[in-house]
Amino acid sequence: MPTPRSYQASIEQLHQEVEALAEEMRRPAPATFRVTFLPFSIGAAFALTLFAVVAFVARHV
């Protein structure tokens, strides 16, 4: 049967692991930035391309 000291050590280790997990969960995942930035980038590229095509067509008509 484990001694009270080993219980205390187990509890302290558990607290450290929970704190480490909580710290890890606070940080945003790298994919979060990509998920936010990618649609914006695609939309901006589409808008610039459309603007360039309209300007090119307007100039040559």
User: In angstroms, rounded to a whole number, what is the distance separating the alpha carbons of residues 60 and 50?
Assistant: 16
Q: What are the domain boundaries of the chain?
A: 4-59
Query: What's the half-sphere exposure (Cβ side, CA atoms, 13 Å) at 13?
Result: 6
User: In angstroms, rounded to a whole number, what is the distance separating the alpha carbons of residues 14 and 1?
Assistant: 19
Q: What string of pLDDT tens digits covers the 61 residues of the chain?
A: 566 778 888 999 999 999 999 998 888 777 777 888 889 999 999 999 999 999 999 999 8
Q: What is residue 29's predicted lDDT score, i.e. its pLDDT? A: 72
Structure tokens at 61: 């008509």
pTM: 0.48
Q: What is residue 40's predicted lDDT score, i.e. its pLDDT? A: 93
User: In angstroms, rounded to a whole number, what is the distance separating the alpha carbons of residues 50 and 43?
Assistant: 10
